[in-house]
């Protein structure tokens, strides 16, 4: 698995100029917006870049070559989830550093310890993107997976809209946010982490099944 992680890391670092531009954009936008935006932006970006390595593996019939190497298909799937998590954590750490730097530049006191539980919660929340995208990418490829994702989001939007009318005009998301806002940050963090772990495990089982049935 370490060899696969190194491969994906090298593929990501090939675009180091693009990565630098993204960091500069995050700094510029962070100056005019809430500093926590930088953390969420970079974490989300890292997740997308990690998932994008599957497209590199697909390119020019690359899967056919990769599967001749001495590792199991299950190992390949495991590496994608691990690499995505590592990228998210690394980007989150960079985001926290930039958040503190922006606080110093704007002469604002950064109450990092007070906000830490909710900032950490960004990792499991955004990692759910990997849980959704990895099996879709493996099943349909990069182009078709985007279409399927838009369809899924459309279905979710319709369900939320229908639920609002079913419950007498009550906005379910608004009520959920109010409920979470009244809970302890640590409880929210543990709940989100538990949901993320469960979703990632189900996603992993689906991805393994997809990968083992895939023909190259």
Q: What is the structure's pLDDT at 102?
A: 74
Confidence grade of residue 201 (pLDDT, cut at 50, 70, 90): very high
Residue by residue, DSSP assigns 31-92 as HHS-THHHHHHHHHHHHHHHHHHHHHHHGGGHHHHHTTSSS-HHHHHHHHHHHHHHHHHHHH
198 falls in which pLDDT band (50, 70, 90)?
very high
* Total of domains in the chain: 1
At 70 the pLDDT is 83
Of residues 11 and 147, more confidently modeled: 11
Statement: residue 163 has pLDDT above 80: no
Please answer whether residues 37 and 29 qualify as being in contact, where contact means their C-beta atoms are separated by less than 8 angstroms: yes
146 versus 105: the higher-pLDDT residue is 105
Question: Over the stretch 167-196, which tens digit does the pLDDT of each residue have?
Answer: 554 554 455 555 655 667 777 778 888 888
Sign of CA dihedral 25, 29, 30, 31: positive
* Host domain of residue 122: 2-213
Quick one: pLDDT at residue 114?
A: 67
Q: What does the block give as tokens for 215?
A: 């023909």
Q: What is the pLDDT of residues 83-102, one digit of tens each?
A: 999 999 998 888 888 887 77
% pLDDT > 70, the chain: 72
pTM: 0.79
């Amino acid at each position: 698995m370490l060899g696969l992680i190194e491969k994906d890391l090298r593929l990501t670092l090939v675009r180091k100029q693009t990565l630098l531009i993204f960091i500069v954009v995050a700094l510029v936008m962070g100056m005019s917006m809430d500093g926590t935006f930088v953390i969420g932006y970079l974490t989300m970006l890292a997740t997308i870049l990690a998932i994008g390595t599957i497209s590199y593996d697909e390119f020019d019939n690359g899967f056919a070559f990769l599967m001749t190497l001495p590792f199991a298909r299950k190992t390949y799937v495991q590496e994608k989830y691990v690499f995505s998590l590592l990228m998210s954590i690394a980007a989150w750490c960079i985001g926290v550093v930039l958040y503190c730097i922006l606080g110093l530049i704007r002469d604002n006191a950064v109450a990092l310890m007070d906000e830490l539980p909710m900032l950490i919660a960004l990792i499991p929340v955004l990692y759910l993107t990997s849980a959704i995208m990895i099996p879709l990418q493996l099943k349909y490829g990069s182009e078709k997976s985007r279409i399927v994702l838009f369809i899924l989001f459309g279905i979710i939007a319709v369900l939320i809209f229908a639920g609002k009318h079913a419950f007498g005009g009550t906005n379910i998301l608004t009520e959920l946010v109010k409920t979470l806002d009244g809970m302890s940050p640590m409880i929210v963090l543990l709940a989100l982490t538990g949901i993320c772990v469960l979703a990632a495990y189900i996603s992993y089982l689906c991805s393994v099944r997809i990968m083992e049935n895939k023909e190259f």
